[in-house]
Structure 1
Amino acid sequence: MTQSGTRGVIYRGGTSKALLVRTSDLPSQHRDELGQWLLAAYGSPDPRQIDGIGGADPLTSKFGFVGPSTHPDADVDYTFAQVGINDSRVDWSIMCGNILSAIGPYAIDEGLVPAVEPFTVVRIHNTNTGKVVTARVEVSGGRPRTAGNVHIDGVPGGGSPIFLDFRHAAGAKTGKLLPTGNRRDVAQLPGVGPVEYSVVDIAGMQVFVKASAFGLTGAEDPVAYGKLAEAGRQIEFLRCKVAVDLGFATSIESAKKESPITPFGIIVGPPREWLLYGTRELRSADSCDLVARCVIDGGMHKAFPGTGAIPTAIAAALEGTVVHDVTRVAAHRTGTYAIGHPSGTLTVDVALGDSDAGVEVRQASLVRTARRLFEGTVFVEPSRLSWTPARPSTAEPGGPHGN
């Protein structure tokens, strides 16, 4: 049987990469079938993903599809999937903020949103969470700009800024900014004892805990963290407990399968110097307001997720959270927070207010860059599918882009 081909585009968004496909070009509209197709396309399960397009790293084993919006206040729909590497898992529970930065440029390039110079505003409805995030994209000559002076740590060189506004993304998974109703809770962890933690849900839901509770600093290198088996188990236990408490899993034992990346676990600590992942460059404590490490799927994120940065900054600004405890805070509730992560720093602008419902998020924004890397046809071996894909798309390529 001939291999099945599907048109797609590979984008770098922030510190991640993903295959993006138009909704109309999907080989199937059924989620189970699409998940099976993704595992075949990415070459999973296999630690090298050698027989697919995956990059053998969680930051490059990502996928999204984009089409006309079904939301009255948005221009496009964006659906995200995290494709497993060592297992046959496709997780549809999060939006991925880094890849979200590529959706505005992609929508413009694909003609889903008219290009307006010098900036095109794209309202993105993330179907995974039901939230709308706004992207402001620089445009020149009818195409998204790629060249620019904005540098984001974890990506070589510079690029054109993409401004992402998450102010309307509170309660992305639970409908509440503070899912437990508290700014701080306590859990009993086997072998550790009582541990304080905070849960914040905006853009994504994260469980925050002080690194010191596990004998860590929050400035650990991802490779070194991989050798800290006991600390890793304890942090995973806490993450799983929160997943059970909030109804995302039925038991701690099953949480890894039922809710593998919701919520993430993030360890935090006060500012301190650290060596950047990959380059081994020394970054000073003065360059950040706190250090943080995102623990995902038994390992550590080599940079920092956009959907982790927003709630981290919100928690830093919110008195009473464990994140606020370790943050060098210049102004309560309003300010710019620099988060020290393995590859550098990530800056988030935050403004909080009060409402009848509690804390109101008035600003939650960050800047990313993105670039279209490749467009073409992704081929899947039919023997890996239990169904017959739809006919390959005949849509024309997106044409020239950037400047």
Structure 2
Amino acid sequence: MYKANRKVPCVYMRGGTSKAVFFHDRDLPSDPQARDRVILSAFGSPDLRQIDGMGGANTSTSKVAVIRKSEREGVDVDYEFGQVSIDLPIVGKTMNCGNISSAVGPFAIDEGLVEAVEPVTTVRIFNTNTQKMIVARVPVKDGKAMTEGDFAIDGVPGTGAKIQIEFSRPQGAVSGVLLPTGNPKDSMEIEGTVYEYSFVDAANPVVFVRAEQFGLEGTELPWEFEARPDCADICRRLEIIRGTCAVKIGLAKDLEDAAINSQTLPKIAICTTPKTYTAGSKKVIEAGAVDFVGRLFSLGMKMIQAYMGTGGICTVVAANTPGTIVNEIVCAGKDTDQVTTVRIGHPFGIMEVDAELEELPEGGHTVKCGMIGRTARRIMEGYVYVRD
């Protein structure tokens, strides 16, 4: 029984452009509802400021990871991700987070769940949310995961040791199929206007729409988008499309249910062709430096300030799926539909995502593995005090 102000061991870590509280599975209640209550108390949710907990009052810093040594053959650790709602008493567990996935390997090594091997330790991770394998290649020195290095990612100050994250066969992570509607592109009429969208399920399901159909350039920064007088109306239409797709894969029974109980998935992204814009870091992103410009939305239809790691994996898979909106943008003017690298322009810079391709016996190709480079850092270790 968890009493008021009971202390629970935890580690606070940054993974990529996100932060999460990491728990050992053994330190949390086994009952799912009791576990969620402990996590919500640790984060100070629900509360828009999360003032009485460790949450950072935005979706990128309100995440939890629960780790245990795996009993599965060929797997080192099992990892469950949770998106902790800020304004609702919900810990969403239908999705994975690619950025937080990059911190799982360093956590497992430093906590003694995996033997440290220099110079690089391979950590085989099973994500229980999506039932998919992730392989992390973590630089190690003196028995610990390295933090310092010369690898930089946009959206994180400074540099760090590069962690290579590989998502093995990411297709059908939630729905079981790559294209949940059966089509690379669909359309929907909303109040007399027809909107095209591509619903792709890889690493996490994402609905891609063209920014121009909503009167947007596609290069807007989150605060610029939120300041638009038509922001609420655009979000309302985006939510209709997103909610319809949630119903399609059984995450919600109707649009109202999707807006309340399936905010985490599917994600929705507005996208456009390569354009020059100024990122939130004041860095000018030249059109020639990217293949695709995207803006992802998270809980409550809030534009994410960077780009989700799993969203990047889904994007590179979509780029290799003929007929999708992403494929049309990335492959425009090219004489091939095989894409091994996609440079994604996001609000704070560029994310590069790689793909290992595999030829299919019936012709065409598929993505055997999607890869991203991230950095991670242990920020704090100790105890969090949970309230009754």
TM-score of the aligned structures, taking structure 2 as reference length: 0.94
Task: Give the AA of the match of 2:266.
Answer: P
CA distance in 1, matches of 2:308, 2:205: 12
Give the Å deviation of 1:14: 0.2
Aligned to 2:129: 128
Partner SS state of residue 171, structure 1: coil
**1:4 is matched with which residue?**
6
Which among 376, 381, 384 is matched to residue 370 of structure 1? Answer: 376
> How far apart, CA to CA, are the structure 1 residues paired with 2:361 and 2:340?
23
Output the CA distance in 2 between the equivalents of 1:8 and 1:345.
32
Deviation at 1:356, TM superposition (A): 5.8
1:179-205 deviation line (CA, Å, top 9, x unaligned): 2222111222235x2222111111111
The amino acid across from 1:7 in the alignment is P
- The answer as to whether partners of 1:95 and 1:204 remain within 8 angstroms in 2 is yes
The AA in structure 1 aligned to 2:261 is E
Please, which runs of 5 or more residues in structure 1 have no aligned partner?
383-403
Task: Assess if the C-alpha contact under 8 Å between 2:10 and 2:381 holds in 1.
Answer: yes
- Distance in 2 (CA, whole Å) between partners of 1:234 and 1:353 is 37
Preserved contact between residue 24 and residue 68 of structure 2 (Cα < 8 Å): yes
Whole-angstrom distance in 2 between the partners of 1:70 and 1:229? 47
2:266 counterpart of 1:260 = no
Supply the distance in 2 between the matched residues of 1:75 and 1:45 (Cα, whole angstroms). Answer: 34
* Residue type at the aligned position of 1:137: V
Amino acid aligned to 2:369: Q
How far apart in 2 are the matches of 1:207 and 1:356?
28
Residue of 280, 292, 295 corresponding to 1:293: 295
Q: Distance in 2 between matches of 1:299 and 1:131?
A: 27
Does the 8 Å contact 1:333/1:350 carry over to 2? no
Cα displacement (A) at 1:354: 4.1
Name the SS for the 2:129 alignment partner. Answer: coil
Amino acid of the structure 2 residue aligned with 1:371 = R
Aligned ranges 1:289-368 → 2 under 5 Å: 289-296=291-298, 297-327=300-330, 331-355=336-360, 360-368=366-374
2:315 and 2:147 mapped to 1: Cα distance? 28
Match of 1:198 in 2: 198
Q: What's the CA shift string for 1:250-272, capped at 9, x where partnerless?
A: 11121112311110001110011
User: Of 240, 243, 253, which residue of structure 2 is paired with 1:240?
Assistant: 243
The residue number in structure 2 matching 1:174 is 175
Q: Is the 8 A contact 1:198 1:321 kept in 2?
A: yes
Aligned residue for 2:278?
275
The 5 Å alignment of 1:183-222 reads: 183-191=184-192, 193-222=193-222
Post-superposition Cα deviations, 1:313-359, rounded to whole Å, max 9, x if no partner, equal 22123221111222256552232110000010000112433436885
Q: Deviations over 1:345-386 (max 9, x none)?
A: 00011243343688532231110000111000000122xxxx
Change over 3 Å in CA distance of 1:359–1:263 after alignment to 2: farther
Aligned to 1:224: 224
The letter of the residue matching 1:23 is D
User: Deviation string for 1:53-90 (max 9, x for gaps)?
Assistant: 11111110000110111432311000011111122221
2:316–2:339 contact (8 Å) kept in structure 1: no
Structure 1 residue 139, shift from structure 2 partner? 0.8
Asked if the contact 2:283–2:349 (Cα under 8 Å) also holds between the matched residues in 1, the reply is no
Aligned to 1:396: none
Checking the alignment, whether the CA contact within 8 Å between 1:317 and 1:350 is kept in structure 2 is no
1:386 maps to: none
Q: 2:385 aligns with which of 345, 355, 379?
A: 379
Cα RMSD of the aligned pairs, angstroms, is 1.6
**Deviation at residue 2 of structure 1 after TM alignment:** 5.5
Could you list the structure 1 runs, at least 4 aligned residues long, displaced by more than 4 angstroms after superposition. Answer: 328-331, 356-359
Task: Indicate if the aligned counterparts of 2:320 and 2:366 stay in contact, CA closer than 8 A.
Answer: no
- Counterpart CA distance in 1 for 2:356 and 2:189 is 33
Aligned residue in 1 for 2:51: 50
What residue identity is the alignment partner of 2:121? T
Q: Does the 8 A contact of 1:154 with 1:303 survive in 2?
A: yes
The Cα of 1:220 is off from its aligned counterpart by 1.1
2:70 is the alignment partner of 1:69: yes
- Provide the rounded CA distance (Å) in 2 between the counterparts of 1:362 and 1:103: 22
Query: Identity of counterpart residues, as a percentage?
Result: 42
Residues 260-294 of structure 1 deviation map (CA, whole Å, 9 limit, x = unaligned): 111000111001112212x3332221221110000
What SS does structure 1 have at the residue aligned with 2:296?
Answer: strand
C-alpha spacing 1:218/1:245, structure 2 compared with 1 (3 Å): same
Amino acid at match of 1:136: R
Contact 2:132 2:168 in 1 (8 A): no
How many residues are aligned here?
Answer: 379
Q: CA deviation at 1:176?
A: 1.2
Q: Counterpart of 1:104?
A: 105
- Residue 146 of structure 1: SS of its match in structure 2? coil
What letter corresponds to residue 336 of structure 1 in structure 2? T
Residue 99 of structure 1 deviates from its aligned partner by 0.3
The residue type equivalent to 1:158 in the other structure is: T
When the two structures are superposed, what TM-score results if normalisation uses the length of structure 1?
A: 0.90
Measure the CA separation in 2 of the matches of 1:267 and 1:356: 34
57 and 152 in structure 1: CA distance in 2 versus 1, 3 angstrom threshold: same
Separation (CA, whole Å) in 2 of partners of 1:2 and 1:252: 37
CA distance in 1 between counterparts of 2:208 and 2:378 reads 34
Unaligned runs of 5+ in 2: none
Provide closer, same or farther for how the CA distance between residues 59 and 379 of structure 1 changes in structure 2, counting only shifts above 3 A.
same
Distance 1:232 1:168 in 2: 32
Mean alpha-carbon deviation: is it higher for 11-20 or for 41-50? 41-50
